[in-house]
Amino acid sequence: MANGLKGIAWKDVNTKFKNDFTETEKYAREYFSSSQGDLTRLDKYLKELESQVKTFDLPRRINK
C-alpha cells in the first residue's frame, strides 16, 4: 500500500499547497488513484493505521 504513495514528493506538495493538508490529501488520493486505482483499499489501510497509531503511548503536543 505504501508503495502507491512512495512517489509523492511530500515536502514539495505541502509547499505547493502552503501546508493546506486538505489539498495535500486530495492530491495524494488522486495520485494514488491514478497509479493504484483502488481508493477503498487505501481508506481501509489508513483507518487500520490510524487505529494502530492511537495505541502508541505518544506525548501530546501542546500548542503555545
Asked if residue 41 is part of any domain, the answer here is yes
Q: Give CA–CA dist 16/30, Å, rounded.
A: 15
**Does 60 map to a domain?**
no
- Per the structure, the complete domain to which residue 34 belongs is given by 2-52
pLDDT at 28: 92
Q: Would you state the pLDDT for residue 6?
A: 87
Residue 64's pLDDT is 64
Q: Classify residue 29: in a domain, yes or no.
A: yes
> Rounded to two decimals, what is the model's pTM?
0.69
Long-range contacts of 32-38 (CB under 8 A, 24+ apart): 32/4, 32/5, 35/4, 35/7, 36/4
Q: How many domains does the chain have?
A: 1
Give the CA distances from residue 40 to residues 12, 14, 35, 43, in Å, rounded to whole numbers and listed in that order.
26, 24, 14, 5
pLDDT tens, per residue, the chain with 64 residues = 778 888 899 999 999 999 999 999 999 999 999 988 789 988 998 899 999 999 998 887 777 6
